[in-house]
């Protein structure tokens, strides 16, 4: 077994890096620790999905550097981001690397931490509110509900899932949340159907959570491809696959029935 001191280690005179989870895009969902780190920053490297509208106010003393990646193009490569981060920290700056959501959920945060360690730079990570949970919530969808789903799996749609993964998700029978899933929706929906997930399983796609143009498209596993195409669904979006999607619709008869059945089930245990 090995033990390590957590948090900041390394030279005092050198700068530091703080990876800050910026939440799903609303400044109110920044943590107090995130606001404090931004306020003290000399340099902020920020992403497209990080809350960046009010950055000048949140980080009044900082040079703001946009390293955001747009789908299909990479203005600053991952290696380039890590180099910038290290370079500024070695020059004695307090660097904040502001990332969308939580730094450790598909954010390549761990790679950036390793880059700091390799260069002897003190690094801390401030957790953020992940879009995986907050964006469905913004659309009224809880990921768990007693008697309906007692687990959720967050997957990246960046690359298609393997047959084993598709079979596992189907067997588990709980809520599936997909980030970066718009491009691979065809293989995901067809794969889950092929592995026996019911065709009528509800699916919600929530685009641009917490923005003025947030939009939710609700469908079923067998119709979602056609419905997403009709609606013109685009990234960034969070997909939710599971019975919990019905809970977003107050007054819906199917949802009422589902909740009634869930309550019976819950009382039984």
Q: How far is the CB of 101 from ligand SAH (least distance, A)?
A: 2
- Give the nearest residue (CB) to ligand SAH: 101
Active site residue 69: yes
Cβ nearer to ligand SAH, comparing 147 with 236: 236
By the rule CB under 6 A, 136 interacts with ligand SAH:
no
Q: What are phi and psi of 241, to 5 degrees?
A: -120, 120
Q: In the set 34, 52, 94, 107, which binds ligand SAH (CB under 6 A)?
A: 107
Q: How far is the CB of 32 from ligand SAH (least distance, A)?
A: 18
β-sheet bridge partners, residue 220: 202
Name the active-site residue from 42, 93, 102, 180. 180
Q: How far is the CB of 12 from ligand SAH (least distance, A)?
A: 30
Contacting range for ligand SAH; rule: CB under 6 A; set: 124-132, 145-153, 193-201, 252-260: 124-132
Return the exposure string of 97-128: e unless at least 16 CB atoms fall within 10 Å of the residue's CB, then b. bbbbbbbbbbbebeebbebbeebebbbbbbbb
Active site residue 66: no
* Count of CA atoms in the C-beta half-sphere (13 A) of 88: 23
Q: How far is the CB of 72 from ligand SAH (least distance, A)?
A: 13
By the rule CB under 6 A, 235 interacts with ligand SAH:
yes
Q: How far is the CB of 2 from ligand SAH (least distance, A)?
A: 28
By the rule CB under 6 A, 131 interacts with ligand SAH:
yes
Number of residues that bind ligand SAH (CB under 6 A): 23
**Shortest CA distance to 49 belongs to which of 137, 143, 131?**
131
Active site residue 47: yes
For residues 238 and 216, is the Cβ–Cβ distance under 8 A?
A: no
Q: In the set 39, 69, 208, 215, which binds ligand SAH (CB under 6 A)?
A: 208
By the rule CB under 6 A, 125 interacts with ligand SAH:
no
- Supply the residues annotated as catalytic: 47, 69, 180
Q: Name the site residues for ligand SAH (rule: CB under 6 A).
A: 24-25, 49, 99-102, 105-107, 130-132, 135, 179-180, 208-210, 235-238
């Amino acid at each position: 077994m090995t033990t390590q001191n957590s948090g900041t280690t390394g030279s005092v005179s050198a700068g530091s890096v703080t990876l800050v989870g910026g939440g799903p895009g609303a400044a109110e969902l920044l943590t107090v620790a995130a606001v404090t780190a931004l306020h003290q920053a000399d340099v902020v490297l920020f992403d497209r999905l990080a809350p960046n509208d009010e950055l000048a106010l949140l980080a009044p003393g900082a040079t703001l550097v946009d390293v955001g990646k747009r789908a299909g193009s990479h203005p600053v490569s991952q290696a380039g981001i890590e180099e910038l981060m290290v370079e500024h920290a070695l020059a004695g700056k307090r660097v904040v690397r502001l990332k969308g959501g939580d730094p450790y959920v598909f954010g390549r945060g761990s790679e950036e931490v390793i880059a700091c360690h390799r260069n002897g730079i003190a690094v801390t990570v401030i957790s953020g509110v992940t879009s995986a949970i907050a964006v469905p919530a913004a659309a009224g969808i809880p990921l768990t509900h007693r008697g309906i789903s007692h687990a959720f799996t967050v997957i990246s749609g960046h690359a298609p899932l393997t047959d084993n993964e598709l079979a596992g998700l189907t067997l588990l029978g709980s809520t599936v949340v997909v980030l970066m899933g718009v491009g691979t929706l065809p293989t995901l929906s067809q794969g889950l159907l092929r592995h026996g997930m019911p065709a009528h399983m509800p699916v919600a796609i929530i685009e641009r959570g917490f923005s003025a143009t947030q939009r939710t498209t609700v469908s079923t596993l067998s119709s979602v491809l056609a419905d997403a195409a009709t609606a013109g669904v685009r990234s960034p979006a969070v997909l939710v696959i599971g019975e919990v999607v019905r809970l977003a619709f107050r007054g819906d008869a199917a949802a009422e029935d589902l909740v009634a059945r869930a309550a019976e089930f819950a009382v039984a245990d």
